[in-house]
């Protein structure tokens, strides 16, 4: 799904992404031009209007080239899912700019005190991937009325000048995602810049916008893990080839055999994943997607990410000291894969 030229651009920026903790400006510009943060927006809003199966290939391919870039492509595009929840006027205003991209959080860790025509909001939200360059932020809040907490929850849309970014993302992997905490203090948010994730307010949506959100997210993050798993296996192959002059014949034979075994496991999991996504997407389009099929899709997504991670685990200890260096590509793929797989939608516990 990616051109060879785009893949080269991403790969060439990979070290800088890791070192600086965010995307360099020139790569951001490429992402805007390629509409990588608008995969699920209609063409009238400058989007690519992709199906979920096609987008899964994009997420996998971008993650193969650079884990942080792939994660940010996935998260940035995922923000498109709020399109129908906004008023039509707000959706067009906020999504139409070429550099439109959401960062935010689904955790309801903010308070929104109801006022005339809007809300007075304060709160803090963690793990907001893409925070350094987001054109807008969304975060869930609990509504307070007349000084009392209610059971109502609404998402608020913040502009960058209303948000303080607390640079606290210090994870073992996906270091370039800028997944920082955001803080908002006493910001007024007009009512039309809030929304409910269960309410539709316009007719701009595509078929993907009615696909169940949990499985949409599982497909997206599993695709990232598969891209990173493929990258790990490729880098492991390179490292083994380089080590053949140093290792004895028995170690070479054993490690090559293990690599081939794990590659076969991975290839099967990858194919099953794409087949499962295609099947459920077709069922979604013809109106026959039911809870059983969704449960099966969830299981496939978690299993495929588990297999990708386990393949890396099985091989890692056989790769020698080069693999433990953080500057090693195989090390970074390993760290990024472990970090991506920790997302709650993929974690069975």
Q: What pLDDT does 68 receive?
A: 98
Q: What pLDDT does 283 receive?
A: 98
Q: What pLDDT does 2 receive?
A: 86
pLDDT reading at 343 higher than 70: yes
> CATH assignment of 211-340, given 1.10.10.10, 1.20.140.10, 3.30.70.260, 1.10.340.70?
1.20.140.10
pLDDT in tens, 190-201: 999 999 999 999
Percent of the chain with pLDDT over 90: 98
Band (pLDDT 50/70/90 cuts) for residue 139 is: very high
pTM, to two decimals: 0.97
Q: What pLDDT does 349 receive?
A: 59
CATH class of 102-195: mainly beta
> CATH assignment of 4-83, given 1.10.760.10, 1.10.540.10, 1.10.645.10, 3.40.50.720?
1.10.540.10
Average pLDDT over residues 207-231: 98
pLDDT reading at 1 higher than 80: no
Quote the CA–CA distance of 74 and 57 in Å, as a whole number.
11
Band (pLDDT 50/70/90 cuts) for residue 214 is: very high
Q: What pLDDT does 347 receive?
A: 84
In whole numbers, what is the pLDDT of the chain averaged over residues?
97
Going from N- to C-terminal start, the domains of the chain cover: 4-83, 102-195, 211-340
Band (pLDDT 50/70/90 cuts) for residue 273 is: very high
pLDDT in tens, 71-129: 999 999 999 999 999 999 999 999 999 999 999 999 999 999 999 999 999 999 999 99
pLDDT in tens, 44-68: 999 999 999 999 999 999 999 999 9
pLDDT reading at 42 higher than 80: yes
Average pLDDT over residues 8-33: 97
Average pLDDT over residues 195-224: 97
pLDDT reading at 348 higher than 80: no
């Amino acid at each position: 799904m990616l051109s060879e030229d785009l893949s080269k651009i991403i790969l060439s920026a990979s070290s800088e992404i890791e070192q600086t903790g965010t995307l360099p400006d020139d790569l951001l510009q490429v992402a805007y031009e390629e509409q990588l943060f608008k995969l699920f927006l209609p063409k009238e809003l400058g989007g690519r209007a992709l199906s979920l199966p096609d987008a899964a290939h994009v997420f996998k391919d971008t993650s193969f080239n650079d884990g942080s870039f792939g994660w940010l492509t996935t998260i940035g595009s995922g923000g498109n899912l709020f399109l129908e929840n906004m008023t039509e006027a707000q959706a067009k205003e906020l999504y139409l700019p070429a550099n439109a991209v959401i960062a935010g959080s689904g955790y309801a860790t903010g308070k929104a005190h109801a006022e005339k025509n809007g809300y007075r909001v304060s709160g803090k939200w963690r793990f907001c991937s893409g925070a350094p360059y987001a054109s807008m932020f969304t975060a869930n809040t609990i509504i307070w009325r007349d000084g009392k907490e209610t059971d109502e929850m609404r998402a608020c849309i913040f502009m960058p000048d209303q948000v303080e970014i607390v640079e606290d993302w210090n994870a073992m992997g996906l270091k370039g995602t800028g997944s920082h905490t955001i803080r908002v203090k006493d910001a007024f948010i007009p009512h039309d810049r809030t929304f409910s994730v269960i309410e539709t307010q316009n007719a701009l949506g595509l078929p993907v916008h009615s696909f169940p959100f949990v499985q949409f997210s599982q497909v997206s993050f599993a695709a990232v893990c598969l891209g990173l798993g493929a990258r790990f296996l490729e880098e492991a192959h390179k490292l083994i080839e380089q080590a053949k002059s140093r290792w004895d014949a028995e170690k070479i034979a054993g490690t090559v055999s293990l690599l081939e075994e794990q590659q076969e496991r991975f290839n099967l999991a990858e194919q099953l994943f794409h087949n499962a996504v295609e099947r459920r997407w077709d069922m979604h389009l013809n109106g026959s997607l039911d809870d059983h099929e969704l449960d099966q899709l969830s299981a496939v997504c978690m299993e495929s990410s588990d297999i990708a991670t386990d393949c890396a685990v099985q091989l890692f200890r056989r790769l020698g000291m080069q693999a433990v260096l953080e500057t090693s590509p195989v090390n970074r793929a390993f760290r990024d894969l472990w970090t991506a797989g920790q997302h709650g939608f993929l974690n069975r516990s």
